[in-house]
Amino acid sequence: MTIRIGLIGCGIMGADHAAILHRDVAGASLAAVYDADTARAEVLAAKMPGTQVAASAEALIADAGIDAVLIAAPDALHAPLTLACIAAGKPVLCEKPLADSVQACRAIVDAEVAAGQMLVQVGFMRRFDAGYRGLRDGLRSGRMGAALFLHCVHRNKIAPEYITSPLVLANSMVHEMDIARYVLDEDYAAVTVIPARASRHSTSRQPQFMVLETRSGVVVNVEMTPDAQYGYEVQGELVCEDGTLSLAPAPPVAMRHAGVSGYLVEEDWRPRFVGAYRTQAQEWVAALRAGTNPVGASAWDGYVASATAAAALASLAARQRTEVVLPPRPSLYG
């Protein structure tokens, strides 16, 4: 069975998703695309034989020839489009964030619970990265003992000008909020955010340092430097009672040249996580073909990430430790 997918949003991320579906994923076809910029949608569709351009996002979702929807539209559109997919009974992979507010995320959870089936997967692609999966599997094996600390580093070469200090938390560090919860398999009790002094490279944002405390007492710390200049990099080290597990540097080849010994660093997140995006698409399609629940972050996970980010923003504003308060998890999500 071939899963016919409709893509909403044909910008950088949408084009990347389209290329992966077209080139790398068995059992799926990109049946239709839509973008507010019709010309951009037409250019993308022309590269994918058999792909049509839909007249609107609503028409694409309602199309009986579309089995599932991938949303890569601007953040403000994520909630209404995802709700439309749930109303139509169609599985949806929505890029993060699930919505642009905690309340909108909760509305999606409530709609999915009312529908009685898990249709939504959120595009937290790090859950499909081999390194992070290795940390999670190593911890779950029991041979490392209990987790004590998870140290995380997240650095961008140069963030876009529109990124402010709050967006450093809500748009960038939210990845660590989700992936640490995935690796440790537990929710947070509290968060503390400490901004560093402003870098000379930007007046619109500050580097951020965040401490997350899990309910069992594991401490997660995250350094996010949005203007590191040298490139894009993520690091992670899980400290346990009987040893540690660390993410290896992504490049498989070390280099010695012109007085430098090391490895090349990516320009942005896309080459670093290209394998994760590919695996995410493959496993999403495989679940659709098998008729099983999504295997990535659920709508509930998307809600928890947004609620944690909201607590982090409150901590940044108040300059104090802030509790992460969550309602009971609906039974739909196990």
- Summarised one tens digit per residue, pLDDT across range 305-320 is 999 999 999 999 999 9
The pTM (predicted TM-score) of the whole model is 0.95
Say if residue 64 is exposed, middle or buried (CB neighbours under 10 Å; 0-12, 13-18, 19+).
exposed
- Summarised one tens digit per residue, pLDDT across range 166-209 is 999 999 999 999 999 999 999 999 999 999 999 999 988 999 99
CATH architecture of the domain 127-269+307-323 equals 2-Layer Sandwich (3.30)
The pLDDT of residue 132 is above 90: yes
**The token pair that represents 257 in the structure block:** 């040249």
Strand-pairing partners, residue 211, are 192, 221
- Summarised one tens digit per residue, pLDDT across range 106-129 is 999 999 999 999 999 999 999 999
Cα angle at 85 between 293 and 27, to 5 degrees? 55
The pLDDT of residue 252 is above 90: no
Closest to 273 in 3D by CA, of 126, 131, 94: 126
- Summarised one tens digit per residue, pLDDT across range 37-92 is 999 999 999 999 999 999 999 999 999 999 999 999 999 999 999 999 999 999 99
The pLDDT of residue 242 is above 90: yes
Backbone angles phi, psi at 109, to 5 degrees: -60, -45
CA distance to 104, 214, 312, per residue, from 166 (Å): 19, 22, 9
Type of residue at 227: D
CA distance to 4, 131, 148, 246, per residue, from 235 (Å): 36, 10, 17, 8
Backbone angles phi, psi at 216, to 5 degrees: -90, -5
Helix (H, G, I), strand (E, B) or coil at 272: helix
The pLDDT of residue 250 is above 80: no
Q: Tell me, what's the pLDDT at 203?
A: 87
Q: Tell me, what's the pLDDT at 1?
A: 86
Tokens 């980010």 -> residue: 309
* Domain coordinates in residue numbering, the chain: 3-126+276-298, 127-269+307-323
What lies within 8 Å, CB to CB, of 11 at 6+ separation is 35, 40, 72
The pLDDT of residue 249 is above 90: no
**The token pair that represents 266 in the structure block:** 């990516």
- Summarised one tens digit per residue, pLDDT across range 266-300 is 999 999 999 999 999 999 999 999 999 999 999 99
Residues 62 and 40 sit within 8 Å (Cβ to Cβ) = no
CATH architecture of the domain 3-126+276-298 equals 3-Layer(aba) Sandwich (3.40)
Q: Tell me, what's the pLDDT at 266?
A: 92
The pLDDT of residue 154 is above 80: yes
